[in-house]
């Protein structure tokens, strides 16, 4: 039997939750519940059921993480979500700050047929509008390595690859200051005490943002503009 959309949402939330914490670490039930907007007890009940089905590895009082089967399922949900987001931006002309919520609903009802057609129309893309990687139809994530503005080298040019927060307000801020994926910039300095990071864009303009924001912007070393 195919998973209900509730199950899909749990798997997705567990994936996203565990992915941003030390490797192999389980996701505390409270975090999961908060991410899904349910009370903790509800999450516990549901996760126990998921464990029964072999989709997650659950240890009471210690948290939950995906099994191999659960990971594949989560990847397929993410695949649908991200292809839909890209489709809405590229084909339908919506803003990248308004497609997340829309995709949240559509991801549970689109047939494989339709997803495949979108994939084709988009030219089999690797990443969505926020730079998030799009798993393939087998549920495998493309390889990707990058750091954030908090951890990358200072004084060397980097290219934004990904924004790891879908909140509309944050996305509009990112867009306004030219921090979207593909844009090039450089970390000038980090000020621990001020909790801030100073950046300079390619056109030389300066910008200082908080560390909270900085850690949501992923980058990779710019290709040495190897044309010489």
Partner DNA sequence: ATTTTGGTTTTGACTAACCAAAATTTAATG
Partner DNA sequence: CATTAAATTTTGGTTAGTCAAAACCAAAAT
> Which range touches its own copies (CB under 8 A), out of 74-82, 90-98, 127-135, 198-206?
90-98
- Residue 2 binds to its own copies (criterion: CB under 8 A): no
Alpha-carbon distance 23 to 78, whole Å? Answer: 20
By a kind-dependent CB cut-off of 5 to 8 A, residue 48 interacts, out of its own copies, DNA, none, with: DNA
Q: With respect to DNA, which residue has the nearer C-beta, 63 or 135? A: 63
- Residue 45 binds to DNA (criterion: CB under 7 A): yes
- Please work out the total of residues on this chain that contact DNA, with binding judged by CB under 7 A: 27
- Residue 37 binds to DNA (criterion: CB under 7 A): yes
What are residue 64's DSSP bridge partners?
A: 27, 58
What are residue 218's DSSP bridge partners?
A: 148, 162
> Which range touches its own copies (CB under 8 A), out of 20-28, 32-40, 110-118, 160-168?
110-118
- Residue 93 binds to DNA (criterion: CB under 7 A): no
- Residue 39 binds to DNA (criterion: CB under 7 A): yes
Q: Which residues bind DNA (CB under 7 A)?
A: 4-7, 28-31, 33, 36-49, 60-63
């Amino acid at each position: 039997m195919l998973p209900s959309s509730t199950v899909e949402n749990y798997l997705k939330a567990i994936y996203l939750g565990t992915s941003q914490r030390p490797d192999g670490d389980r996701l505390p039930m409270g975090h999961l519940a908060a991410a899904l907007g349910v009370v903790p007890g509800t999450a516990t009940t549901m996760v126990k059921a998921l464990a029964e089905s072999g989709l997650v590895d659950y240890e009471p009082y210690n948290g939950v993480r995906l099994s191999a089967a659960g990971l594949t399922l989560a990847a397929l949900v993410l695949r649908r979500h991200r292809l839909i987001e890209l489709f809405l931006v590229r084909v339908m002309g919506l803003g990248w700050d308004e497609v997340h919520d829309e995709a949240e609903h559509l991801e549970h009802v689109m047939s494989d047929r339709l997803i495949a057609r979108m994939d084709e129309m988009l030219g089999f893309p690797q990443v969505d509008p926020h730079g998030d990687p799009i798993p393939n139809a087998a549920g495998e994530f493309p390889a990707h390595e990058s750091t954030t503005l908090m951890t990358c080298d200072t004084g060397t040019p980097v290219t934004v690859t990904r924004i790891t927060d879908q909140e509309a307000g944050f996305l509009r801020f990112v867009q306004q200051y030219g921090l979207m994926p593909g844009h090039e910039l450089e970390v000038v300095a980090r000020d621990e005490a001020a909790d801030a990071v100073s950046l300079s864009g390619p056109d030389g303009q300066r910008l200082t943002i908080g560390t909270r924001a900085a850690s949501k912007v992923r980058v990779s070393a710019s290709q040495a503009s190897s044309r010489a």
